[in-house]
């Protein structure tokens, strides 16, 4: 059951009613994501407050808990109405927040796609500009030539040295393995 603003106005404070009034279409559409998140938090806090208060009053009415005031409460219909009113307010804000967040995500995705497309175009332009004046590349199939390494010139017997080192390491490991036997 929907609670009208006219029915809720006498029950709410001015700040509470202003918050609830902002959840209706003409005003809520103008709010950004950050503003909507703040209002969702405030509406949730009010809904929880009146929900807890209604439960407490119900317990006091039933006699399960001692009353916190001098007079025992006789009814809590106003508190229940306020709780339901702020639950509806929260639902309206959350619905609008979901719409606004999806819109923001679509815009972000669109701008990211445009940036990627621009970067791809720029890379393609750089590649085309580079192919026109570039000489032979070092890619296989395009005349790749081996370049002599400085190590092979400094150590002409490098393959033999590598083999000797490997054999020495293998012998040392074998000695370590046989120590405990």
Q: Among 17-31, 75-89, 124-138, 167-181, whose mean pLDDT is lowest?
A: 124-138
* Residue 167 to residue 109: CA distance in whole angstroms: 59
- For residue 143, the model assigns a pLDDT of 62
* Residue 155 to residue 161: CA distance in whole angstroms: 9
Above 90 in pLDDT, residue 133? Answer: no
- For residue 136, the model assigns a pLDDT of 54
| Dihedral angle sign, alpha carbons of residues 139, 143, 144, 147 | negative
Q: What six digits make up the tokens of 77?
A: 């219909």
Which band of pLDDT confidence, cut at 50, 70 and 90, is reported for residue 86?
very high
Q: Among 51-65, 82-96, 112-126, whose mean pLDDT is lowest?
A: 51-65
What average pLDDT does the segment 168-181 reach? 91
Above 90 in pLDDT, residue 36? Answer: yes
Alpha-helical (H) ranges within 70-181 are: 77-133, 150-154, 158-178
pLDDT top residue among 60 and 69: 60
Tokens 């503003």 correspond to what residue? Answer: 35
Q: What six digits make up the tokens of 29?
A: 């559409």
Which band of pLDDT confidence, cut at 50, 70 and 90, is reported for residue 130?
confident
Q: What six digits make up the tokens of 127?
A: 């590649």
- For residue 137, the model assigns a pLDDT of 56
- For residue 154, the model assigns a pLDDT of 80
- For residue 105, the model assigns a pLDDT of 94
């Amino acid at each position: 059951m929907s609670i009208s603003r006219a029915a809720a106005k006498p029950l709410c404070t001015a700040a509470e009613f202003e918050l609830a009034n902002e959840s209706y279409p003409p005003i809520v559409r103008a709010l950004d994501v950050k503003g909507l998140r703040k209002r969702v938090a405030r509406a949730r806090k009010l809904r929880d407050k009146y929900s807890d208060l209604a439960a407490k009053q119900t317990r006091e009415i039933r006699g399960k808990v001692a009353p916190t005031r001098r007079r025992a409460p006789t009814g809590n219909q106003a508190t229940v109405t306020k709780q339901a009113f702020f639950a509806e307010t929260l639902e309206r804000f959350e619905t609008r927040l979901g719409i606004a967040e999806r819109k923001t995500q679509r815009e972000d995705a669109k701008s990211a796609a445009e940036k990627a497309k621009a970067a791809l175009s720029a890379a393609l332009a750089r590649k085309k500009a580079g192919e026109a004046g570039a000489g032979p590349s070092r890619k296989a199939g395009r005349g790749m030539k081996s370049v002599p390494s400085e190590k092979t010139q400094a150590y002409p017997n490098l393959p033999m040295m590598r083999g000797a080192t490997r054999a020495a390491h293998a012998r040392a490991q074998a000695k370590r393995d046989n120590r405990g036997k």
